[in-house]
Amino acid sequence: MSDGHFSDRLLEAIESKRSHVVVGLDPEYGSLPPEILAAHPAENYATDRVMKAACYSDFLCRIVPAIADVACAVKPQIAYFEALGTYGYALYEDVVSMAQKHGLLVIADVKRGDIGSTAEAYAQAHLDVAGADAITVNPYFGTDGLEPFFKRCREAGKGAYVLVKTSNPTSAELQDVALQSGEPVYARVADLVEGWGRDAVGERGYSSIGAVVGGTHPTEGAKLRKRLSTVPFLIPGYGAQGATAGDIAAFFDERGTGAVVNSARAILFAYKKAPDKHWLDAARDEAEAMRSALWQAAGRA
Amino acid sequence: MSDGHFSDRLLEAIESKRSHVVVGLDPEYGSLPPEILAAHPAENYATDRVMKAACYSDFLCRIVPAIADVACAVKPQIAYFEALGTYGYALYEDVVSMAQKHGLLVIADVKRGDIGSTAEAYAQAHLDVAGADAITVNPYFGTDGLEPFFKRCREAGKGAYVLVKTSNPTSAELQDVALQSGEPVYARVADLVEGWGRDAVGERGYSSIGAVVGGTHPTEGAKLRKRLSTVPFLIPGYGAQGATAGDIAAFFDERGTGAVVNSARAILFAYKKAPDKHWLDAARDEAEAMRSALWQAAGRA
């Protein structure tokens, strides 16, 4: 059963690769390496969007293999693909398959959530058709807007990370408002997530229904780690958004696991800070440095 | 300026068409009329998804013109399109343009929301590239995850409806939890929405930043209508989900405006309850009946 359980598969990847690193695939056009831009001159393409899709494809098909043995998973951010319309959506589906062929788990960062019948269509889109291993989802609708995703976690080896405490500056406006219990809104969401995940706990002790907790909130992360013993964390906010390995330490359990950490821009575009390296080497070196820093922060080295 | 302001344009459409009706475009395959299914036999197509996309295209290209003068807007539910992968995404973009050519405003029901840089990519995808007039968005990230959408409301004549109180059975799990103020979580979101919309109020007194409030919650809807005098409502839950015109009455202001009401399945698949009519006539008649019932509920007839 271990083969088919998302969280078990992810924990196995962490151990075998000695890495908590998730590489975020956010192919921002303005940051692509000059070599990629030069290979796709605008005059070769009918439209700006087709040209950009060709650039993204070229970039991602080269960078994913370069980081494949340093990362346990990749996290394509679908918004960057949707911004190119149909060309981008086709590429999103390709990138999911391509990354899996390189031995990576794929967490599709789609943050979907809707009423039940609509959520079923979203689950088909991203877990069945695109075939991602896991996705991110939004809790605002409550249980029946998430059940189609959770069903695939229990029955089809998929994973779902529910937004709990996000990494952005204004996350407090709604997530930190105090409830009558004195606790913030996100603590209520955290408890819901634990309940949702109870039927999807794998052999290694973690559920396939996890929580997104921003690395920019280490105090909250430490409290949530203690409170949610079977809920794995997906931690954005490392690198470009400001969280350090020291901030992340509290998000790991006493075995140094239970969390994976995403970095996108700081890895993808590491060449900007390393002008003497090829952009692929710069990205790989940055991912390696992140792997080491996190391994140490998790108490493993 | 009225020409370019989303809420002014929508209120003008309500008056000129004497209709608060939004037709939801949720092309569920299993409910399509037999005529559509028969026209697209599986053996004509390489894959199941291409066949379904052809069915959806045929269905929508016929039903949208049939309801175009009875509805003020259509609301494509992107999940049904994404469920067909790239073929569906291409059709989603086509449907937005096609409906606009028939004089309809298009509210893309995408419920997106993320950190600021990602939200900018989503705003490009749906308001710029797909070119919808308005979209639905999720409030969980707070202001900086919504600002790219709001900027286009203030500056580019676009609209955004923020989820406040949703129509589904488990909406209470998070949205109704009591805050220290004694009010539910969704009331906090409602106040945020009013604040966000203050700089985007049009000549007719309503903002281009509105709220999604489920028609299945008439008591809450009446309170929110009094509380949010400049926030227009998008009301799901009519028809198949159970809300009646009587339930909706309290969502209108004293002039009988300030809200539009969505119905999808009950209109699109009205033929199922009217076996003696052609499916297009059944859909049009159902939309007409909804228009009359709402016009009366709004105190206009």
* DSSP single-letter state for residue A177: P
CB contact under 8 A, A26 and B118: yes
B99 pLDDT above the threshold of 80: yes
Q: Percentage of chain B with pLDDT > 70?
A: 99
To the nearest whole Å, the CA of A105 is away from the closest chain B CA by 20
Q: Give how far A78 is from chain B: nearest CA, Å.
A: 9
Instruction: Judge if ipTM > 0.85.
Output: yes
Chain A residues with CB-CB distance to B80 below 8 A? 118, 121
Using an 8 Å CB-CB cutoff, list chain A residues near B82: 121-122, 125-126
**Considering only CB atoms, which chain A residues are within 8 Å of B113?**
111, 138
Bridge partners (DSSP) of residue A258 are none
Q: What is the pLDDT along chain A (301 residues), one digit of tens a residue?
A: 335 899 999 999 999 999 999 999 999 999 999 999 999 999 999 999 999 999 999 999 999 999 999 999 999 999 999 999 999 999 999 999 999 999 999 999 999 999 999 999 999 999 999 999 999 999 999 999 999 999 999 999 999 999 999 999 999 999 999 999 999 999 999 999 999 999 999 999 999 999 999 999 999 999 999 999 999 999 998 987 788 999 999 999 999 999 999 999 999 999 999 999 999 999 999 999 999 999 999 999 8
Q: Which of B84, B141, B173 sits opposite A168 (nearest CB)?
A: B141
Amino acid B1: pLDDT: 36
Whole-angstrom distance, CA of residue A293 vs CA of residue B130 = 42
CB contact under 8 A, B185 and A177: yes
Using pLDDT thresholds of 50, 70 and 90, give the confidence band for residue B301.
Answer: confident
Cβ-defined contact of A139 to B140 (cutoff 8 Å): yes
Nearest to B79 by CA among A145, A81, A134: A145
Q: Please identify which of the residues A111, A151, A223, A277 carries the catalytic annotation.
A: A111
State the pLDDT at residue A242.
Answer: 86
| Chain A residues near residue B183 by CB distance under 8 angstroms | none
How far apart CA A70 and CA A94 sit, in angstroms, is 21
Q: What three-state secondary structure class fits A230?
A: coil
SS3 (DSSP) at A259: strand
Residue B241 to residue A231: CA distance in whole angstroms: 33
Q: Using the Cα atoms of residue A204, residue A205, residue A208 and residue A210 in order, give the sign of their dihedral.
A: negative
Active site residue B273: no
Query: Which residues does B47 contact at the CB level (< 8 Å), separation at least 6?
Result: none
Q: Which of A49, A87, A141, A162 to mutate to test the interface with B (most CBs of B within 10 A)?
A: A141
Q: In Å, how far are A266, B269, B286 from B235, measured between CA atoms?
A: 42, 20, 18
d(CA B109, CA B132): 10
Contacts of B144 in chain A (CB under 8 A): 168-170
To the nearest whole Å, the CA of B285 is away from the closest chain A CA by 25
pLDDT at A2 (0 to 100): 38
* pLDDT score of B2 more than 80: no
- At residue A3, the pLDDT reads 55
B111:A115 CB<8 A:
no
Out of B52, B111, B272, B277, the active site residue is: B111
User: B161, B157, B165: which is closest to B131 by C-alpha?
Assistant: B157
Considering only CB atoms, B85 lies closest to which of A28, A129, A163, namely: A129
Task: Please report residues of A whose CB lies closer than 8 A to that of B52.
Answer: none
Q: Which DSSP state fits A250? A: G
Distance between CA atoms of residues B166 and B11, nearest Å:
23
Task: Tell me if B85 and A121 make a contact (CB, 8 A cut-off).
Answer: no
Q: Does B74 score more than 80 pLDDT?
A: yes
Q: Is B149 left (phi over 0), alpha (psi -120 to 50) or beta?
A: alpha
- Does B37 score more than 50 pLDDT? yes
Q: What is the mean pLDDT of residues B25-37?
A: 97
Q: Give the distance from residue B2's alpha carbon to the nearest chain A alpha carbon, in angstroms.
A: 28
* Count of pairs with CB atoms under 8 A, one residue in A, one in B: 179
Residues facing residue A207 across a β-bridge:
A201
* CATH class in words for B2-297: alpha beta
The residues, any chain, with a CB within 8 Å of residue A268's CB and separated by 6 or more, are A23, A24, A25, A26, A27, A31, A59, A63, A283
- The closest CB to that of B82, out of A84, A121, A174, belongs to A121
The CA distances from residue B75 to B107, B135, B180, in Å, are 5, 9, 36
How confident is the model over B218-250, as pLDDT tens digits? 999 999 999 999 999 999 989 877 889 999 999
Q: Which residues lie below 8 Å from residue B18, measured CB to CB, with a gap of 6+?
A: B291, B295, B300
**Are the CB atoms for A119 and A147 separated by under 8 Å?**
yes
Res A1: pLDDT: 36
Six token digits for residue B195: 């604040």
Contact A66, A33 (CB under 8 A): no
Which chain B residue is nearest to residue A169, measuring alpha carbons?
B144
Please, what is the average pLDDT of chain B? 96
> Would the CB atoms of A83 and B125 count as touching at under 8 Å?
yes
Interface mutation vs chain A, best among B29, B56, B75, B111, most A CBs within 10 Å: B111
E strands, chain B, are 21-25, 73-76, 105-112, 134-137, 159-165, 209-213, 233-235, 259-263
Q: Do B79 and A143 touch (CB under 8 A)?
A: no
Tokens of A223: 């409290």
pLDDT at B241: 77
pLDDT above 90: percentage of residues in chain B:
96
For A166, the closest of B126, B141, B241 (CB atoms) is B141
Structure confidence by residue, pLDDT tens digits, B139-188: 999 999 999 999 999 999 999 999 999 999 999 999 999 999 999 999 99
The region that residue B182 occupies, defined by phi over 0 for left and psi between -120 and 50 for alpha, beta otherwise, is left
Nearest CA in chain A to B110: A112
Helix, strand, coil shares of chain B, percent, nearest 5, are: 55, 15, 30
Report DSSP letters for B223-287, one per residue.
Answer: HHHHH-TT--EEE--BGGG-B-HHHHGGGS-TTS-SEEEEE-HHHHTGGGG-TTS-HHHHHHHHH
